[in-house]
């Protein structure tokens, strides 16, 4: 990775609001055409992640919840797993106030004419204790010292800088216990170039297993061509 590359979480291409997502149709921002054998197929061009703050848990016909995107727009997220019994255990991980992450999210129009996100597998993650992702300070996280002769200590998990153990302990007790997962997430995100797609990745930038890549691409292509091709016995909210 080039040392000059720095992730910008405010970039609307890689961290879009709901209305900027590819929406059940081909999107030139996120997909392009490539040749596989004798076939011309759509392929993913860049990495992107939908981020939203969870506002309310929903249980009308199936598990889901309301999130607010980067622009303050409320959006519903509904679960449509192959195994319905796996949906509620996933939902239980989330609480109001969590920052929700959905890699390669696409908008969906349901049969009742509402719009939102339809998740067909457990690719949803969250960060606790922080409602907004931001970048870490260049100097000491507590006092801001940046002098060359000041020894630098780093958090072992996220890499945030401190000028002394005193500042590190003070920051941990004040708020870093909650911030640490956020900065750790940013550190992982900055390990790849988001503007050049290589393979589908989880929120922590680890690669999908091979079978999951194929499944994900299959779901992506079916969404582009026909959003209602996947049968589902529960029809209340499809």
pLDDT in tens, 101-154: 888 899 998 888 889 998 887 666 665 544 444 444 567 877 877 766 666 788
The answer to which of 69-78, 103-112, 134-143, 158-167 has the lowest mean pLDDT is 134-143
pTM score, whole prediction: 0.68
The answer as to whether 26 is a domain residue is yes
Average pLDDT score over residue span 39-44: 79
Side-chain half-sphere of 180: how many Cα atoms within 13 Å? 14
Return the pLDDT at 192.
Answer: 81
The residue segments making up the domain with residue 59 are 18-133+193-225
pLDDT at residue number 74: 93
Domain count, the chain: 1
Mean pLDDT is lowest, of 16-20, 175-179, 213-217, for 213-217
**Would you say residue 32 lies in a domain?**
yes
- Of 37-41, 74-78, 93-97, 211-215, the range with the highest mean pLDDT is 74-78
Provide the CATH number for the domain around residue 216.
2.40.50.140
Tell me how far apart the alpha carbons of residues 25 and 22 are, in angstroms, rounded to a whole number. 7
Q: Does residue 89 belong to any structural domain of this protein? A: yes
Lowest pLDDT segment from 22-31, 116-125, 204-213: 204-213
In a domain, 123, yes or no: yes
161, part of any domain? no
* pLDDT, mean of residues 33-47: 80
State the pLDDT at residue 206: 67
Per the domain annotation, does 172 fall within a domain? no
SS (H, E, C) the chain: CCCCCCCCCCCCCCCCCHHHCCECCCCCCCEEEEEECCEEEEEECCCCEEEEEEEEEECCCCCEEEEECCCCCEEEEEECCCCHHHHHHHHCCCCCCCEEEEECCCEEECCCCCEEEEECCCCEEEECCCCCCCCCCCCCCCCCCCCCCCCCEECCCCCCEECCHHHHHHHHHHHHHHHHHHHHHHHHHCCCCCCCCCCCECCCCCECCHHHHHHHHHHHHHHHHCCCCCCCCCCCCC
> Is residue 154 a part of any domain in this protein?
no
Name the pLDDT band for 68 (thresholds 50, 70, 90).
Answer: very high
Question: Quick check: is 49 in a domain?
Answer: yes
């Amino acid at each position: 990775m080039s040392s000059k590359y720095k992730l910008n979480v405010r970039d609307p291409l890689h961290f879009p609001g709901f209305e900027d997502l590819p929406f059940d149709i081909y999107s030139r921002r996120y997909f392009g055409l490539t040749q596989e054998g004798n076939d011309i197929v759509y392929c993913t061009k860049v990495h992107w992640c939908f981020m939203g703050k969870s506002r309310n848990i929903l249980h009308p016909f199936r598990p889901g919840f309301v999130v607010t995107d980067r622009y303050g727009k409320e959006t519903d997220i509904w679960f449509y797993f192959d195994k319905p019994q796996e949906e509620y255990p996933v939902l239980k991980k989330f609480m109001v106030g969590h920052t929700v992450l959905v890699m390669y999210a696409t908008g969906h129009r349901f049969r009742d004419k509402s719009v939102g996100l339809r998740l067909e597998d457990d690719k949803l993650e969250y960060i606790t204790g922080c409602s907004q992702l931001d970048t870490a300070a260049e100097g000491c996280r507590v006092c801001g010292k940046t002098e060359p002769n000041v020894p630098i200590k780093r958090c072992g998990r996220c890499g945030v800088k401190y000028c002394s153990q005193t500042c590190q302990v003070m920051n941990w007790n004040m708020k870093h216990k909650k911030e640490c997962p956020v900065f750790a997430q940013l550190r992982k995100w900055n390990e790849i170039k988001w503007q050049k797609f290589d393979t589908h990745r989880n929120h922590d930038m680890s690669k999908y297993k091979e079978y999951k890549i194929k499944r994900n691409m299959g779901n992506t292509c079916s969404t582009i061509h026909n959003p209602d091709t996947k049968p589902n016995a529960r029809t209340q909210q499809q």
